[in-house]
Amino acid sequence: MGSNLRTESFRRGKLANVSSGSFAISANGLMTQATLDGLATAKLYNVAADVNADPMRAVRAMFIGTAADNTTHDYRVYGAWKITGNTPSDATYYVGCLAYGQFTLSSAVGLDNDGAILTTERIADTITATATTTGTSPVGPGDFFNNYLNGVGIKLFSPIDNTPAILGIGELGNPAIILIDLKAASGDVNVVLSRDI
């Protein structure tokens, strides 16, 4: 019997790159829909994240930026799980950090001026990643999901040879939204994302 796993194409996480030297999310916790919508993060939605929907099984990311070759930048991966109130407009979310790490840009650049990765944007060839626990900074439920669901399995393809590096995080706990929070050391940064459902 074959797998029902479906993989989407990579797409740009944010229309405009992030140039901030600070993260947009300061801590795990509850957020309203309006607060979540206003965050300056890349968002990947599980369009049907409910009990009858296909779970968001995994996410893959490639990091990009306009800073110089060999500059290193920071990222955090968050899940947002919906808490439904008495009416749909009452929805809030628990937002928790699943993993964090750094990426280093390479000399490789995008191939066109209107695609997901532009000719002016370098592609990271190096990525590090750590699942969050109660003892990491930032704190987060990454290790909880790893033990509870045998998930948050972090896989890295980090060639360090001017070819694209890929971050893969599996079995995310079926969040409604994945958020990639970026902090640029210089220039600006972005991410291209794909999900498995």
pTM for the full predicted model: 0.88
3-state percent breakdown (helix, strand, coil) of the chain, nearest 5: 10, 45, 50
Say what the pLDDT of residue 50 is: 46
Q: Read out DSSP for the chain?
A: ------BPPPEES-SS-B--SS-S--SSEEEEHHHHHH--SEEEE-TT-STTSPP--EEEEEEEESS-TT-EEEEEEEEEEEE--SSGGG-EEEEEEEEEEEEEEEEEE-SBSSSSSBTT-EEEEEE--EE--TTSSS--SHHHHHHHHS--EEEEE---SSS--EEEEE-----SEEEEEEE-SSS-EEEEEEEE-
154-168: pLDDT as tens digits: 889 999 999 999 999
Backbone φ and ψ of 146, nearest 5° = -60, -40
Higher pLDDT, 85 or 180: 180
What band does 152 get if pLDDT is binned at 50, 70 and 90?
low
Burial (CB count within 10 angstroms: exposed 0-12, middle 13-18, buried 19+), residue 157: middle
What domain range is 61 assigned to?
26-196
**96 three-state secondary structure:** strand
Residue 12 covered by a domain: no
Residue 162 covered by a domain: yes
Question: What is the rounded average pLDDT for all residues in the chain?
Answer: 84
Residue 182 covered by a domain: yes
Residue 21 covered by a domain: no
CA distance 33 to 38: 9
Residue 2 covered by a domain: no
What band does 3 get if pLDDT is binned at 50, 70 and 90?
low
Residue 11 covered by a domain: no
Say what the pLDDT of residue 148 is: 65
- Total domain count, the chain: 1
* Listed range (42-51, 53-62, 87-96) with the worst mean pLDDT: 42-51
74-111: pLDDT as tens digits: 999 998 888 877 776 677 899 999 899 999 999 999 98
Say what the pLDDT of residue 103 is: 97
Residue 8 covered by a domain: no
Residue 9 covered by a domain: no
Say what the pLDDT of residue 175 is: 81
For the chain, the maximum distance between any two Cα atoms, rounded to a whole number of angstroms, is 53
112-128: pLDDT as tens digits: 887 889 999 999 999 99
Q: Is the pLDDT of residue 51 over 50?
A: no
The answer to whether the CB of 139 falls within 8 A of the CB of 97 is: yes
Say what the pLDDT of residue 116 is: 87
